[in-house]
Amino acid sequence: MLNNYERIEKIIKILRDSYQNPKTALKYESPFQLLVATILSAQCTDERVNKVTPSLFVKYPSIKDFADAKQEELEKDIYSTGFYKNKAKSIIGAAKAILENFEGKLPDNMEDLITLPGVARKTANVILSSVFGKAEGITVDTHVKRLSERLGLSKEINAEKIEKDLMDVIPKKDWLEISYLLIAHGRLICNARKPLCLQCPIKHLCPSAKKFYPSI
C-alpha cells in the first residue's frame, strides 16, 4: 500500500504524462500584461479575460499608460470581467507603484509583488512561476482548491491555508507545474458539478472517486 507521499508522486507523474507543458491560459506578451490579466481573472473565466485584453493592451501599451489611465474609463474597458471598480483601481495602483518603487520593472520576488495593489499570493505565484520560473509557493485557484479537497491533499477552505498544506506534501521541484496540472485536470475531467471519474487516469489514487461512482 502506498504512503501519502508515494501516492502524490504517482498522481503528479500521471498528470504530467496526461497534460504536456501545462501553463496559464491567460494570453500576454509582457510580465505586466500577465499581471493585468491575472488581476482581471479574479471571479472571472480566463476565456472572458482573453476576450477583453487584446484591445485593452492596444489601448494601454505600457505600464505608464495604465498608470495614467482615468479610472472611470478603465472601468468601462474591463466592465465585462466583473468587479470592475476594484480591478481598475488595483491595476492603476499597481502600475503607479511599479513606476515609483521598482524603476518601472515588475518585481521578481514574493515579498515585493504582494506590496502592489491588487496582488495577493495567488497572483504573485502566477507571475513568479509563469514569467520568472520561480517557485516561492503554489497557485491556488478554484480548480486547485476543488482538487486539493477531492484528492485528500487539504481539508482547508482558505486559499493560503490550502497552499501551505500543498507545500508541505508536494516536493518543491513540482511546485512550478502542479497548479497548472491540477487546473488542466479540473477543466477536462474533475469538473465541479459532475467529475468524469470513469475517464480519470488517477481515479485509483483518488479517495473521492468512489463517492461519485461507487462501482469504481
Q: Around Cβ 172, how many Cβ atoms within 10 Å?
A: 10
Q: Report the alpha-carbon distance of residue 36 to residue 41 in Å, rounded.
A: 9
Q: Report the alpha-carbon distance of residue 170 to residue 126 in Å, rounded.
A: 17
End-to-end CA separation in angstroms for the chain: 18
Annotation marks residue 141 as catalytic: yes
Of 87, 141, 145, 174, which residue is the catalytic one? 141
Q: Report the alpha-carbon distance of residue 189 to residue 150 in Å, rounded.
A: 13
Q: Are 94 and 49 in contact (CB under 8 A)?
A: no
Strands (E), the chain: none
Cα 39-43-47 angle, rounded to 5 deg: 80
Annotation marks residue 122 as catalytic: yes
Of 46, 77, 87, 122, which residue is the catalytic one? 122
Please name the residues in contact with 72: beta carbons below 8 A apart, sequence gap of 6 or more: none
Positions annotated as catalytic residues are 122, 141
